[in-house]
Amino acid sequence: MTRWSRRRQAGACRRARSLLQSFLDGQLEADLALVVARHLEACRRCGLELETYRALRGALTGLRPVPDEAALERLAAFVDGLAPSPH
């Protein structure tokens, strides 16, 4: 690989990595998502980074906290107190 192609590849990797979260969330326009997908197919390093994001997301999804019912009731009472009373 020539120095020029390594620089070009590094630039493509930086661009792809900056878009990985949006790609994973399905927030990229179709043409840009296709460019990222093609890069991920060709670049093992960026593909592994995407898999790391997917694994983290999966692990964090299972960590949803149980809501504190008393806190929710206090919040609802507070919001009700903000509403103007009908005259």
Which residue, among 30, 2, 32, 3, has the nearest Cα to 15 in the 3D structure? 32
Task: Tell me which residue has tokens 């107190």.
Answer: 81
Question: Could you tell me the two tokens for 68?
Answer: 């504190």
Evaluate whether 20 touches 50 at the Cβ level (below 8 Å): yes
Tokens of 47: 């593909």
d(CA 22, CA 17) in angstroms, rounded, equals 10
- Give pLDDT tens digits for 18-77: 999 999 999 999 999 999 999 999 999 999 999 999 999 888 887 777 788 898 899 999
pTM comes to 0.61
